């Protein structure tokens, strides 16, 4: 898993968040190049192993918690540790992790929304999840996760990983993904949480036409008018709309409000 660490391009002034640290094997590699590592795991048995394995790594903080307090919010403990790292370290924040599959999507989206100082994410996830982050319009995997990830980051698939690369081996194939997070000056969307909710509502009825979907939203008339202005038909469906167009629609919804 050194590929993840190499891709992160960590330096001694940088700090890293690792969610799902397990016994600490990847943590040890990250800690050898980063100034500080926040290693998180929910499993007490893994925490015990990691604590022993990393006992000589003074720059590692081990946090025994669920990284998500709920689907739409990070753990308070994790947020506190990231704030400390941002205060103490002069470099960049990174996510470097073999992410637990059941929380991967929610975790990444929360990090993109939250403004926690994470500038790059290098992680391994189930290939189907990676496909959603990187999907293009008019493909089955394209959805709100794709739009969020591509609005706020530049994504790259680093590698495909077979099950036997892990122990114990999962029943699914995995992919390594890198997301380089865009700065505020690189996107026209400022209200990231509002944008996320807007996309969730729009894609909730993804088999419906945009005209039908928008007619049931508060700024429906304005949204439908904007469709024509940007060359989209009311009969288009959500998965047919490019990422840039979703940003324009969101801003139109909030114009003069």
Residue 187: count of CB within 10 angstroms of its CB: 14
Quick one: pLDDT at residue 205?
87
Q: Which pLDDT score is estimated for 104?
A: 96
Tokens of 221: 């008339």
Vertex 63: Cα angle to 115 and 122 (nearest 5)? 50
pLDDT of residue 91: 97
Query: Do residues 141 and 95 make contact, with C-beta atoms less than 8 angstroms apart?
Result: no
> What pLDDT is stored for residue 166 in this prediction?
62
For the chain, residues with pLDDT lower than 50 are 257
Torsion angle, alpha carbons of 151, 74, 8, 38, to 10: 170
Q: Which secondary-structure segment (H or E) carries 94?
A: strand 93-98
pLDDT score for 170: 66
Q: How do residues 15-45 score in pLDDT, each as one tens digit?
A: 999 999 999 999 999 999 999 999 999 999 9
**Which residues lie closer than 8 Å to 136 by C-beta, 6 or more apart?**
142, 146
Residue 254: predicted pLDDT: 75
State how far the Cα of 70 lies from the Cα of 184, in Å rounded to an integer.
26
Distance CA 140, CA 224 (A): 24
Nearest to 133 by CA among 118, 160, 161, 152: 152
What is the predicted pLDDT for the residue at 164? Answer: 62
**pTM across the whole model:** 0.93
- pLDDT value, residue 163: 62
Q: Which domains are seen in the chain, by residue range?
A: 2-185 (3.40.50.150), 192-253 (1.10.8.100)
Which residues partner with 175 through β-bridges?
125, 160
């Amino acid at each position: 898993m050194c590929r993840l660490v190499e891709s992160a391009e960590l330096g001694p002034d940088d700090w890293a968040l690792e969610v799902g640290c397990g016994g600490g094997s990847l943590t040890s590699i990250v800690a050898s190049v980063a100034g500080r590592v926040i290693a998180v795991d929910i499993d007490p048995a893994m925490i015990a192993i990691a604590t022993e394995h990393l006992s000589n790594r003074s720059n590692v903080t081990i946090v025994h918690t669920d990284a998500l307090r709920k689907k739409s919010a990070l753990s308070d403990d994790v947020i506190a540790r990231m704030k400390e790292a941002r205060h103490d370290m002069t470099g960049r924040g990174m996510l470097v992790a073999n992410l637990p599959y059941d929380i991967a999507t929610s975790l990444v989206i929360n990090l993109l929304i939250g403004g926690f100082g994470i500038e790059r994410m290098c992680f391994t996830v189930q290939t189907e999840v990676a496909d959603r982050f990187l999907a293009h319009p008019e493909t089955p995997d394209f959805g709100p996760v794709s739009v969020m990830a591509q609005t706020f980051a530049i994504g790259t698939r680093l590698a495909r990983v077979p099950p036997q690369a892990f122990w114990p081996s999962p029943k699914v194939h995995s992919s390594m993904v890198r997301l380089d997070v865009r700065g505020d000056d690189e996107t026209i969307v400022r209200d990231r949480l509002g944008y996320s909710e807007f996309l969730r509502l729009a894609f909730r009825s993804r088999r419906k036409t945009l005209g039908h979907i928008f007619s049931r939203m508060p700024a429906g008339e304005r949204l439908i008018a904007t469709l024509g202005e940007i060359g989209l038909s009311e009969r288009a469906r959500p998965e047919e709309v490019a990422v840039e167009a979703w940003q324009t629609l969101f801003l139109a919804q909030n114009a003069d409000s």
